[in-house]
Amino acid sequence: MPEHKTRYFGTMTFAEDAIIRFPKGLPGFPDETRFLLIEQPVNAPLLFLQSLNRSDLCFLATPAPAICPEFHLSIGAEDLSVIGLPEDRQPAAGKDVLCLALITLSEDKRPAANLLAPVLINWRNHTGVQAIQVESGYSHTHPIFAEREVAPCS
């Protein structure tokens, strides 16, 4: 089985069919087209999207519905076709596609999740895309934790 050096977990072995292809790369990272999703119960609900091209590149993510249970998708036809989904209807998050929000942690700000552009993974064909939602109103820096109460979802 192939091995890969990861940012947070040392060297990991993985099955070939664990590779997720991102034909378009990610915004800001157009050359990163192959990732592993590292999902371990001990770290749930946090997941790690590790680049197979760059060992030092690993995004933190969590299922978007864990941030916002009513999370709904509004994905353009082009992005749906990238991951081989029908273009005439919206996929259901967590059902048709795994839908992840990438997390930004910066020292001066509260942890934020990008709900505007979720990472969609179609496990049927092992492809993914980070899709900018068409008509969502979601923020690219949705605060995960509010000061006192939980942040509203939209």
Binding site for another protein (CB under 8 A): 7-8, 26-29, 43-46, 56-60, 62, 65-70, 102-106, 111, 114, 116-117, 130, 132, 135, 140-141, 144-145, 149-153
Least distance CB 1 / another protein (angstroms): 26
How far apart (Å, rounded) are the C-alpha atoms in residues 107 and 5?
A: 26
Q: How far is CA 140 from CA 1, 14, 75, 78, 111, in A?
A: 37, 31, 15, 20, 12
Least distance CB 71 / another protein (angstroms): 10
Distance of alpha carbon 71 from its chain centroid, rounded? 14
Comparison of 23 and 124: residue with beta carbon closer to another protein:
23
Least distance CB 135 / another protein (angstroms): 8
Comparison of 7 and 126: residue with beta carbon closer to another protein:
7
Helices (H), 17-145: 64-67, 77-82
Comparison of 23 and 27: residue with beta carbon closer to another protein:
27
Least distance CB 152 / another protein (angstroms): 7
Query: Using CB atoms within 10 A of its CB, is residue 138 exposed (0-12), middle (13-18) or buried (19+)?
Result: buried
